[in-house]
Amino acid sequence: MSNVTTQKVQTLLSSENVKNRLDEILGKRASTFATSVLQIVKSNSMLANAEPNSVIGAAMTAATINLPLNNNIGFAYIIPFNERQKDGSYMVKAQFQISYRGFIQLAQRSGQFKTINVSEVVEGEIKSQNRLSGEIEFDWIQDDKERVKRKTVGYVAYFALVNGFEKSMYMSNEELNAHGKKFSQTFKKGGGLWATDFDSMAKKTVLKLLLSKFAPLSVEMQTAVETDQASFNNIDEISEINYPDNETTQIDPDLERMKLLVDDIKTLEDVEFARANVPDSEKVLHAEIDTKEQIILKKQK
């Protein structure tokens, strides 16, 4: 089966349609990129059994946002995944995934960011928290030897733009666990990347949420946010996306982003930002925004 799949992937990469698109996107690097995709498929026995179109779809997305599929660099990956079908059976598909390093790379490339970073937070580093503004003051431990001895309690992402605007976002381990279980059926069962590499997934999650909520998104960044952890049914229509780890099909990326905005409301500033970015037609989401606003106001009394 794996040899057959590899041959099909190779045939698709050699087709005029795919070759022309890779040439248009990557120019002289198209041939090298195609070779790297084949090597990735051959080196992973499960990926070698994946549905060929999903492999090409993931590869084309990486090419579109110009992130190399190289494990040593660690910007983006093609990951095999068992996707549940409508009849209850499972099919191995390729899922496109971006690491937090990949998001940082795209941000830096846009030329709008002066600084961008994400870090774990250990016990004793949270000095104070303003419940009204949501701002957290950190007291960083400078001694690395002392720091590694302490338990990680959360993660924080930060960016500053060249125009002076800056923003940070902190999520506790409990919040990140809840987020992972909400959006990953595999994690609910104790598996997947959330279970095997919580640190990387936590960093990516808090950074991705911060960027999607507050940063000016380049075309590349918008594509990255919308297609991260997606599989593709059709190599010609990138918008035809499935998110297999949540067992959901045909997700509207814009609606998904709005849901994330509402889910992440913690302050009155977040409430106003969500209201400004969620259309009036999304009445269910606006009802959730109103409810969260009331909860915040009650806590302040």
Q: How many angstroms from the chain centroid is the CA of residue 222? A: 11
| Three-class DSSP category at 150 | coil
21-63 pLDDT, tens digit each: 889 989 999 999 999 999 999 888 888 888 898 999 999 999 9
Instruction: Say whether pLDDT at 251 is over 60.
Output: no
Average pLDDT over residues 275-299: 86
Q: Are 107 and 116 in contact (CB under 8 A)?
A: yes
DSSP-derived secondary structure letter, 72: T
Residue pLDDT, tens place only, 61-81: 999 999 999 888 899 999 888
> What pLDDT, on the 0 to 100 scale, is given for residue 4?
67
| Nearest in space to 249 (alpha carbons), one of 88, 85, 118 | 85
DSSP string over 217-264: PPHHHHHHHHHTTBEES-TT-TT-EEEGGGTEES--HHHHHHHHHHHT
Task: Let me know: does 195 contact 87? Beta carbons within 8 Å.
Answer: no
SS3 category, 119: strand
The half-sphere exposure of 171 on its side-chain side, counting CA atoms within 13 A, is 24
Asked if 137 and 128 count as a contact pair (C-beta separation under 8 A), the reply is yes
Whether the full predicted model's pTM is greater than 0.85, yes or no, is no
CA distance linking residue 7 with residue 14, whole number of Å: 10
